[in-house]
Chains A and B, each alone.
Chain A
């Protein structure tokens, strides 16, 4: 059989037979990974693709022809001509036995366990375990232990895979967890009283724990796994742009989980990013477009508001234009904003403001990942699109010139929280587009509600100059629309007859045609993992 094109040409490969099917894999691939490539998911606890494999959970045993005993597939390397049976009676019997041992002490906790529904013990026992337990003896009882930070440990549920210990040792390089005691008395514990408190990547141990032994305090009892919808997205916490999943229920984000991307974040994300989800649920949103300054403001439909705005922009042709963007809005929206500004008149300022941390926080075992200094997801995208950063590290100040500007003024996505009500008083035309209202928008001629990144499709550019897509996980409130849709329509009208983008894909291909940095990229081609920008521009590190 062909090698499915998975092994890079020229690299040494081996061909083996797994369950009567031939598969060719790169040399050095374990049987477990080879089986996964061939389409057979073998059970495993201690093995994790981001960690070392100690082969101690004994649940990945498979039969290898010629070997005297069953082999742990996570550490047995694939060899040429090997014949492996993952579902022979012998292998199944052995795995069933191992599972029964796990259940000797594991409580029947599923109804009150947060992992229920995504638990590997549930899955494996359901797939391969015994129908009924035969245990008669009482189970051990440990109770639960607060590990500090966001992590809670239920000792009774632990299957002793030591993933958590190895994560802290190998990836966080901050050994704070260990196994104490032996045999059935073994539990995971912390060395010092502070436990995981202050460790900035400790939340990952909750993700990698295959059972409900480590759970998040924040998420405790909040939602059942099967009630959550999952949407691929990008973390808005910093310019690293970790790939994540938004887990939503009732149109609220309930938690964030890392999504694998070997180039950006591996399997991990930081605790700061994880805790940020509450900002995505912030209420008090703008829901309908409105036109008119101060007391004259009244609601307007989109058609009416955009029609009026178009007429005002045409009348203002040649004016001095200043633009305030935001590093939390998508590239498509920012690029369309810049183009609308350029179409209207002379753009004399294109700025954004964003918060900065004092320093980076790197994950030692996966150095590509760090919580970056720029605490906004699209700082590099905004820079690439010609925006420059103003104001302080707390995203305040820096808008004095803009506030007093007497030409055309666009604001997209900046709440102007620190600005006075007199902001934009002198502007001949002031357009405020945002998710939340602002006191400083009192002088806006148009207030247009736009969607946040969690409610729309689009792209961000991260600190590695990598363009990454995100998908909508929440319903937009009221009549809010994506910024690229609103601005794309305006731009098309201003340019006279150009077709306005009707989808995020169309908006991106417009962007790829308009901006050299994005040239050659296709929306489809970005996929779920993104792709590097064609020509890195303006990216000279943190500001």
Chain B
């Protein structure tokens, strides 16, 4: 098969000026100086404004006395489409049902938010959080303590003033 080679025609060296292109570029820069269009965010100094429905890593709500709100009902592991919640229920010293083990594998999670939606006691929430890089894979399985320690704001899955999403 013949190989076709296309030779670009370039102006001879010394016979062209880049002045026009440079000025064109500079005029754009000056335009931004006068009328700034913020396309670039100075991350991480500047943090993005997350949408109220942004769904990031989870957070477990706690009672005033520090106990997790979860009652180990088993609905979130049942509904989770990624099957990434592990729950072992039990009873604490006050006879209250609570999760002995509650783990979410954030690697397998698809951040659908169904766990938050199904939770009857508003315990588990997805949240406004996205900086979750780790040095080790194991660290992506968040246990109960870690989920309770997370302190970012939680996702609003629906607008309380518009319960029917109209």
Chain A's closest residue to B91 (CB) is A221
Is the beta-carbon distance between B89 and A111 smaller than 8 angstroms?
no
Min CB distance B70 to A, Å, is 10
Is the beta-carbon distance between B78 and A226 smaller than 8 angstroms?
yes
Tell yes or no: B74 within 8 A of A by CB: yes
Is the beta-carbon distance between A224 and B97 smaller than 8 angstroms?
no
Tell yes or no: B121 within 8 A of A by CB: yes
Q: Choose from A144, A221, A227 the contact partner of B72 (Cβ within 8 Å).
A: A221
B72: which A residues are within 8 A, CB to CB? 112, 221
C-alpha gap A465/B97 in the complex (Å): 46
Question: Of residues 330 to 375 in A, which have CB atoms within 8 Å of B's CB atoms?
Answer: none
C-alpha gap A144/B75 in the complex (Å): 24
Q: Choose from A144, A220, A227 the contact partner of B74 (Cβ within 8 Å).
A: A227
Tell yes or no: B90 within 8 A of A by CB: yes
Is the beta-carbon distance between B78 and A224 smaller than 8 angstroms?
yes
C-alpha gap A346/B6 in the complex (Å): 96
Min CB distance A126 to B, Å, is 15
B71: which A residues are within 8 A, CB to CB? 111-112
Is the beta-carbon distance between B78 and A221 smaller than 8 angstroms?
no
Interface string of B63-95 (1 = CB under 8 A from A): 000000001111100100000000001110001
Query: How many contacting A-B pairs (Cβ < 8 A)?
Result: 26
Is the beta-carbon distance between B121 and A222 smaller than 8 angstroms?
no
Is the beta-carbon distance between B89 and A221 smaller than 8 angstroms?
yes
Most B C-beta atoms less than 10 A away, residue of A112, A222, A226, A227: A112
Is the beta-carbon distance between A222 and B89 smaller than 8 angstroms?
yes
Min CB distance B113 to A, Å, is 19
Chain A's closest residue to B99 (CB) is A221
A224: which B residues are within 8 A, CB to CB? 73-74, 78
Known: A221-B97, A224-B78, A226-B78. A111 touches B90 (CB 8 A): no
Question: Of residues 75 to 132 in A, which have CB atoms within 8 Å of B's CB atoms?
Answer: 110-112, 116
C-alpha gap A480/B78 in the complex (Å): 32
B97: which A residues are within 8 A, CB to CB? 112, 221
Tell yes or no: B52 within 8 A of A by CB: no
B74: which A residues are within 8 A, CB to CB? 224, 227
A220: which B residues are within 8 A, CB to CB? 91
B95: which A residues are within 8 A, CB to CB? 144
Is the beta-carbon distance between A111 and B121 smaller than 8 angstroms?
yes
A110: which B residues are within 8 A, CB to CB? 73, 120
Interface size, chain B (Cβ < 8 Å): 13
Most B C-beta atoms less than 10 A away, residue of A111, A116, A220, A226: A111
A112: which B residues are within 8 A, CB to CB? 71-73, 97
C-alpha gap A220/B95 in the complex (Å): 11
C-alpha gap A144/B91 in the complex (Å): 14
Min CB distance B72 to A, Å, is 7
C-alpha gap A138/B161 in the complex (Å): 27
B75: which A residues are within 8 A, CB to CB? 111
C-alpha gap A226/B73 in the complex (Å): 12
Min CB distance B115 to A, Å, is 14
C-alpha gap A112/B89 in the complex (Å): 10
Min CB distance A247 to B, Å, is 15
Chain A's closest residue to B96 (CB) is A112
C-alpha gap A224/B120 in the complex (Å): 15
Question: Of residues 187 to 243 in A, which have CB atoms within 8 Å of B's CB atoms?
Answer: 220-222, 224, 226-227
Chain A's closest residue to B73 (CB) is A111
Min CB distance A414 to B, Å, is 36
C-alpha gap A111/B123 in the complex (Å): 12
Min CB distance B158 to A, Å, is 18
B73: which A residues are within 8 A, CB to CB? 110-112, 116, 224
A227: which B residues are within 8 A, CB to CB? 74, 78
Min CB distance B108 to A, Å, is 18
Chain A's closest residue to B120 (CB) is A111
Interface string of B123-146 (1 = CB under 8 A from A): 000000000000000000000000
C-alpha gap A416/B26 in the complex (Å): 93
C-alpha gap A110/B71 in the complex (Å): 11
Min CB distance A379 to B, Å, is 38
C-alpha gap A203/B74 in the complex (Å): 25
C-alpha gap A116/B91 in the complex (Å): 17
Interface string of B92-127 (1 = CB under 8 A from A): 000101000000000000000000000011000000
C-alpha gap A379/B86 in the complex (Å): 42
C-alpha gap A222/B73 in the complex (Å): 11
Min CB distance A114 to B, Å, is 9
C-alpha gap A221/B95 in the complex (Å): 11
C-alpha gap A227/B120 in the complex (Å): 18
B121: which A residues are within 8 A, CB to CB? 111
B89: which A residues are within 8 A, CB to CB? 221-222
Interface string of B23-62 (1 = CB under 8 A from A): 0000000000000000000000000000000000000000
Interface string of A142-172 (1 = CB under 8 A from B): 0010000000000000000000000000000
C-alpha gap A97/B89 in the complex (Å): 35
C-alpha gap A54/B91 in the complex (Å): 37
Min CB distance A465 to B, Å, is 44
11 cross-chain CB contacts under 8 A: A110-B73, A111-B73, A111-B75, A111-B121, A220-B91, A221-B72, A221-B89, A221-B90, A221-B97, A224-B78, A227-B78
Closest 5 CB pairs of A and B: A111-B73, A224-B74, A221-B89, A112-B97, A111-B120
Known: A111-B71, A221-B89. 7 other contacts (CB 8 A): A111-B75, A111-B120, A112-B73, A144-B95, A221-B97, A224-B74, A227-B78
